[in-house]
Amino acid sequence: MERNIEIRMRHWVYVDQVKFFGTGRYELLQRIAETGSISQAAKDMGLSYKKAWAMVDAMNTLGKNPYVVTQKGGSKGGGTVVTETGKKVLEAYKKLTDKLLAVVAAEKELLEVV
């Protein structure tokens, strides 16, 4: 009987021992960058707007610089922008994730003995 065996991994960045950044916030920032909207990003992820806003607020508060800025009003009703700091965090987290996944993929020995 063939079995499907896989290794799953999760990782977070902590600031002052507080869970700060992980896959959920990564996805939220990505979706905000794509849509220009916290509301739309939250909807796409199945999150409440309140939860998404709390995540953005935590990133903006604990980060050295804001990751997301909102723009009010205007002819299009405003919007939301991921800052250069936010973009750098997205890039760095993706690089870290890729490196960790490469390490896990290289550990095929574990899968052979399970």
pLDDT confidence band for 78 (50 / 70 / 90): confident
CA distance 77 to 14: 35
Write down the pLDDT at residue 88: 96
For the chain, domain boundaries:
13-113
Half-sphere exposure of 94 (CA within 13 A, CB side): 10
What is the pLDDT averaged over residues 16-26?
Answer: 93
Q: Which fold has domain 13-113?
A: Arc Repressor Mutant, subunit A (1.10.10)
Specify the pLDDT at position 74: 62
Structure pTM? 0.84
User: Which structure tokens are listed for 92?
Assistant: 């760095």
Structure tokens at 26: 């990564």
- 47-56 b/e with 16+ CB inside 10 Å = b? beeeebbebb
71, 53 contact by CB (below 8 A): no
Residue 95 has pLDDT above 80, yes or no: yes
